[in-house]
Amino acid sequence: HRKRIGYCFDLVADRAGSRLLVAAGDRGLHLFDLDQGRLRYAVTYYDDGYYRNVEVWKNRAYVADTYRGLVVLERDH
């Protein structure tokens, strides 16, 4: 089973290098776990936005959304 994830407009790894975040336009923000150079899909955050760019600082992702401007997502753990 393959998941359609759309285009990659931007990507960034967290400071620990354990997660990769991908801004994928109308497909949302995808998170991948990084384990010894291997990518494993973790989750997608999607809410009708169009995500173009992403930056990470501490436990927050700052996403540039074409329609709403800056969207801030906070990781619980």
Sign of CA pseudo-dihedral 69, 71, 41, 12: positive
Which pLDDT value is given to residue 1? 62
Q: Could you read off the pLDDT of 1-31 as tens digits, one per residue?
A: 677 778 899 999 988 889 999 999 999 999 9
CATH number of 10-74: 2.40.10
Instruction: Note the helical H segments in the chain.
Output: none
Structure tokens at 51: 């995500």
Q: Could you read off the pLDDT of 57-72 as tens digits, one per residue?
A: 988 999 999 999 999 9
Best CA proximity match to 54, nearest among 31, 38, 77? 31
- Which band of pLDDT confidence, cut at 50, 70 and 90, is reported for residue 77? low
Sign of CA pseudo-dihedral 63, 16, 12, 34: negative
- Which band of pLDDT confidence, cut at 50, 70 and 90, is reported for residue 50? very high
